[in-house]
Structure 1
Amino acid sequence: MKAAVLHEFDEKLEKSQFVVYEDVPDPRIEGPNDVIVRIGGAGVCRTDLHIIEGLWRNNSDVQLPYIMGHENAGWIEEIGPAVTGFKVGDPVICHPLVTSGHCLACRRGNDMHAEESAFPGVNVNGGYAELLKTGQRSLIKLPKTLAPKDVAPYTDAGLTAYRACKKAATHLLPGQYVVVIGVGGLGHIGVQVLRAMCAARIIAVDRSDDALELAGKCGADFTVRATGDQVEQVLAMTGGHGAEAVIDFVGEGSAISEGLAMTRNDGAYYIVGYGGKLEIPTIDMITSEKRIIGNLVGTYPELVELMALADQGKVHLSTAEYRLQDANQALLDLHHGKIHGRGVLIP
């Protein structure tokens, strides 16, 4: 099969070619619950750039060369002998983690904290290819309304945004405020999830006019351009107190300190984006009683819930499509901020 393969790290992302489009062996059924999926779409994620930078070397057992791509959807190509409920040709979306389901975390539904797991595109070969090996427990059948290429990025970007926004929505009341920092590939999904799940007023913050325009279309009540006075603008909008919830899809640079400053006392700051460092004096934590909440990719049931919202037309993805052989261009466009929404590779 053809695949876009990562052969070496590029810590400064200076090269014009990150991956090599080449022939590699097809994945094979090895276990009774294995499934081979013919890729219909593979999302291009900022995590892929972090992998290229080498940031994941100490957090996953990445052995080069290997194939990135952890946001995958397509059609079942082959199934293991113990697989039931699925057949060849079924359109599916893949939860990003492959687990056995036997450990306590899995039995509680928290597969992302499984004692043993494979994460295609992160620690094993992923979906920047024509075929992907995954497991039955990771598969969700797609309704006829949703095409694999249109929903692939939901498996990480959408699911992570959904998990964070679902947490926030449980305590947001009508008349309260929620701030979304960064309205790119994750943030524009987050705005839609918040709009669908709560009645709080949504403030979108971004430095890109195009991103803010997209945020407005996705349901944001107010937009703030990040030109240096965004904290003051948000505080003025919220009566000087800050928002009850701030969801930070950037997680680096000044966004962290600004996000905390936008969070009112007894409010919650949800950190989704990463790459920066969180520092806050303990006395400020005590006197403000702010809550800082980390967010990993969501659960299998949460991906089912997100697909229900997509099927109902309440959440949609803004995507830019690339051929698999153009994976380098997609990665470069993402790196240089030219993709508004999510990039998708199509074999």
Structure 2
Amino acid sequence: MKAVRVHRYGEDPHIDEVPEPKITGPWDVIVDVGAAGLCRTDLHVIEGQWDAIQHPQLPYILGHENAGWVREVGSAVSNVAPGDTVIMHPLVTCGLCSACREGQDSHCENALFPGLNTDGGMAEQLKTNARAVVKLDPSLRPADIAALADAGLTAYNAVRKAAPLLYPGTQAVAIGAGGLGHIGVQSLKALTAAAITVIDTSEAALELASGLGADTVLRSPDTAAVREATDGGAHVVFDFVGEHGTEAQGLEMLRNRGSYYSIGYGGEVRIPTIELISREISVVGNLVGTYQDLVELMTLTAQGDITLHTTAYDLDDAVQAMHDLDAGKLTGRGILIPPAGGRST
């Protein structure tokens, strides 16, 4: 089968022919990939940023936002069957450690992370396990929802955690309205009563945000303009960029006792401890989301409350798609479509 593999950090991945995955355990699930989302994390993987954390053995297949149709299952699998439409939680978890017992899938002590430390879904097939697959209504097309597995899940998780802070009359600010941010705006509309201000340097992204329900859109991250728009500052800032200065700007946009939610990454959060204490600011990190979060997100998607805006590329054009993402040419989320939609004929 065709697959997009990293061979060396700092170099473009290759489109390779590799063996198809096989069932080796009772809980295994093999999926015909219908679509794989393209994430800025993939660019960070290629740069080598994740090597010290995940220690993958090169070469391996990229792709951690995946959806498709079940091809084959292990002997113990009962929650899905061949032919079912599914989306995959990004992590393949054990179900036995303390984090799994508490429902905190993204902190599983024994997790595999397809696309980061083992073969992912930028291929015609993906091997995962029964705990990772969410069965979907067959009317949902993998190409329409694949990127929700990480971009959507991460944005939704952050908003869901912050929802108790965003009661009627509060102000939420979203920095970035791209692949993550445009899902965050819709999640804010679905889960909170806050007024929503969106900041982005792209006119197309701001137009998209307005269409999705943002109350105010700003082209410039000027702190004074944001404070004026939010009547004194944000109660919660959601930073969907997390680099190139948005970290400092996001903190400056907060009112006293506000909360800065870091979702995008690549930069550094720096704040004097005296300011942290005197203003009682909270800084909150957000890593993916739980299996239950993904179930809830797919429910909102089926109801029409969440819509993923995408730019589709053939799997063979993966490298060009990555260059377009890096150059800021994508509106919404890029997705890769395997030959024949990844489904056997």
Shared fold (TM-score greater than 0.5)?
A: yes
Give the length in aligned residue pairs. 338
Q: Distance in 1 between matches of 2:230 and 2:177?
A: 20
Q: CA deviation at 1:144?
A: 2.9
Report the AA paired with residue 286 of structure 2: N
Is 1:230 paired with 2:222? yes
Aligned counterpart, 2:139 = 145
Aligned counterpart, 1:247 = 238
Q: Which runs of 5+ in 2 are unaligned?
A: 339-345
Contact 2:86 2:135 in 1 (8 A): yes
Contact 2:197 2:230 in 1 (8 A): no
Aligned counterpart, 1:262 = 253
Report the AA paired with residue 328 of structure 1: V
Aligned counterpart, 1:309 = 300
The one of 31, 36, 47 equivalent to 1:42 is: 36
Equivalent runs, 1:288-303 vs 2, <5 Å: 288-303=279-294
* Runs of 4+ deviating beyond 3 Å: none
Is 1:195 paired with 2:189? yes
Is the partner of 2:238 in helix, strand or coil?
strand
Equivalent runs, 1:1-347 vs 2, <5 Å: 1-10=1-10, 18-226=12-220, 230-239=222-231, 241-347=232-338
Contact 1:205 1:230 in 2 (8 A): no
Contact 2:64 2:121 in 1 (8 A): yes
Report the AA paired with residue 251 of structure 1: G
Q: Which runs of 5+ in 1 are unaligned?
A: none
Q: CA deviation at 1:137?
A: 0.5
Deviations 1:180-231 (A, max 9, x none): 00111000000000011111100000111111011101110000112xx621
Aligned residues: CA RMSD: 0.9
Q: Distance in 2 between matches of 1:85 and 1:246?
A: 38
Deviations 1:246-302 (A, max 9, x none): 000111121011100101101111001111011110000110001100000000000
What percent identity do the matched residue pairs reach? 54
**TM-score, normalised via structure 2 length:** 0.96
Contact 1:145 1:311 in 2 (8 A): no
82-91 vs 183-192, which moves further? 82-91
Deviations 1:48-90 (A, max 9, x none): 0000001011010211111000000000011111111211111
Report the AA paired with residue 288 of structure 2: V
Q: CA deviation at 1:145?
A: 3.3
Is the partner of 2:165 in helix, strand or coil?
coil
Report the AA paired with residue 2 of structure 1: K
Is the partner of 1:213 in helix, strand or coil?
helix
Report the AA paired with residue 83 of structure 2: G
Contact 2:235 2:255 in 1 (8 A): yes
Q: Distance in 2 between matches of 1:70 and 1:188?
A: 19
